[in-house]
C-alpha cells in the first residue's frame, strides 16, 4: 500500500501504525502526540542541546528506547547524564496518528434509524399490506 511517501517515511508510518494498533491503554498515542507537539512548538531552553529529553515530553525512557529500535525516534545526543531524542519523520508520524484516529472512530451515520423505530415501521408496513 503506497501513500505517496518515500521508502523511509513509509517505514516510519507503518511502524507507528503497528505501535498504535497494539496500544491497549492509549499511552503510546498520547506520547506520540506529545512528541509531535513538542517538536513543532519547542519551549525556550537555557542550554542548547538538540532534541528533547524524556522528562520534557513525560515519557518513560524504556518506551522511548523501544521507539528508537523501531525507527520512529533517533538519539541525537547522548552523554553519561542525558539522552536527547528527535523523530525520524514527524510528518509520517502525524499522518499515522491521524489515520489511526480515523480507524478507531467510525464516521457518523447521517440517516441512521434507531432499531426500535425501524422494527415498528417495518411491522406497520407489513400489517398494512396484509389488511389490503
Q: Where is pLDDT greater, at 1 or 19?
A: 19
Domain positions in the chain: 7-131
Mean pLDDT of 56-75: 94
Average pLDDT over residues 21-32: 91
The per-residue pLDDT for 32 is 96
Q: Using CA atoms, how far apart are residues 86 and 39, in angstroms rounded to an integer?
A: 8
Q: Which of 7-11, 20-24, 119-123 has the lowest mean pLDDT?
A: 119-123
Grid coordinates in use for 115? 432499531
Query: Can you give the pLDDT at residue 16?
Result: 93
Calculate the alpha carbon distances from 29 to 49, 72, 108, 110 in Å. 26, 13, 22, 29
The H-assigned helical ranges of the chain are 7-21, 27-40, 61-69, 90-104, 115-131
Residues 6+ apart with CB under 8 A from 70: 15, 18, 19
Q: Which residues of 58-77 are buried (b: 16+ CB within 10 A; e: fewer)?
A: ebeeeebeebeebebbeeee
Name the DSSP class of 111: S
d(CA 5, CA 35): 21
Asked if residue 50 has pLDDT above 90, the reply is: no
Dump pLDDT digits (tens) for 75-117. Answer: 999 999 989 999 999 999 999 999 988 776 655 655 555 555 5
Better-scored residue on pLDDT, 121 or 54: 54
- At the topology level of CATH, where does 7-131 sit? Arc Repressor Mutant, subunit A (1.10.10)
Question: Predicted confidence band at 42 (pLDDT cuts at 50, 70, 90)?
Answer: confident
Amino acid at each position: 500500500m503506497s501513500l505517496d511517501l518515500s521508502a523511509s517515511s513509509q517505514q516510519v508510518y507503518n511502524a507507528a501504525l503497528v505501535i498504535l494498533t497494539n496500544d491497549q491503554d492509549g499511552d503510546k498515542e498520547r506520547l506520540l502526540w506529545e512528541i509531535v507537539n513538542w517538536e513543532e512548538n519547542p519551549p525556550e531552553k537555557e542550554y542548547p542541546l538538540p532534541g528533547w529529553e524524556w522528562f520534557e515530553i513525560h515519557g518513560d525512557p524504556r518506551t522511548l528506547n523501544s521507539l528508537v529500535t523501531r525507527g520512529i525516534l533517533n538519539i541525537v545526543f547522548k552523554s553519561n547524564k542525558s539522552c536527547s531524542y528527535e523523530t525520524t519523520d514527524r510528518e509520517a508520524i502525524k499522518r499515522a496518528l491521524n489515520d489511526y484516529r480515523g480507524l478507531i472512530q467510525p464516521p457518523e451515520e447521517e440517516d441512521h434509524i434507531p432499531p426500535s423505530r425501524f422494527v415498528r415501521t417495518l411491522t406497520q408496513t407489513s400489517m398494512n399490506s396484509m389488511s389490503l
